[in-house]
A and B are shown apart, each in its own frame.
Chain A
């Protein structure tokens, strides 16, 4: 099946610093990638949809200047949390849509646990 990796798997940073999370589709090309945020015991909250070579589409209420998304290639999207604060601590998960052999199915990465001190 299609594999999506995420790096790092966890990160601890000080308040005010920026953190970059990478999402890669390992065995397929993904024109579309998604970034989700998940709070404990809750469902997935879509933050933004990232299309290769164009600007990301952010969901209502998500600060685009705080959560910078770059989808520079068909296999890599990055999420940068700028000037992180404790309230940004969360589980961030990316996913990629395989429009090829998997017929448009969405595959998730393993997630990144961000803790802001």
Chain B
């Protein structure tokens, strides 16, 4: 089955700096990679996703890059703000199959 690894487990940055979270996957058949943000006591919220037919996707301060050859994808947050502080999860999925494989999560702390 698929195995998704996520690094780092914790990340602390100063407000205004950039943050990068990286994930690797093992199954080359995976073709859909979403990122979720989970605030304390709440359910995960989809913030951005990318499909294997593109290498990069951007939405305001958030971007995701995908390297299919190396089987890794990354979340980039620029100009971080205190409200970006949360736990972020990456996931991998084969679009025609239901199961999503999640990374172990990264706790991002943005210091004001």
Contacts and interface: CB of A to CB of B under 8 A. Distances in A.
Interface of A: 1, 4, 6, 32, 34, 42-44, 46, 49, 93, 95, 97, 104-111, 113
25 contacts: A1-B46, A4-B43, A6-B43, A32-B98, A34-B100, A42-B104, A42-B105, A43-B89, A44-B44, A44-B102, A46-B99, A46-B100, A49-B99, A93-B44, A104-B32, A104-B93, A105-B34, A105-B49, A106-B91, A106-B93, A107-B46, A108-B36, A108-B45, A109-B43, A110-B42
Nearest to B103: A43
Interface size of B as a range: 20 to 34
A74 B99 CA distance: 18
B112 interface: no
Contacts of B41: 111, 113
Given A104-B32, A104-B95, A105-B49, A111 B42 contact: yes
Contacts of A110: 42-43
Nearest to A57: B98
Interface in B73-112: 89, 91, 93, 95, 98-100, 102-105
Given A32-B98, A111-B43, 9 more contacts: A1-B46, A46-B99, A104-B32, A104-B95, A106-B100, A107-B46, A108-B44, A110-B42, A110-B43
Contacts, number: 48
B44 to A, nearest CB: 5
A86 B99 CA distance: 28
Contacts of A44: 44, 89, 102
Nearest to A110: B43
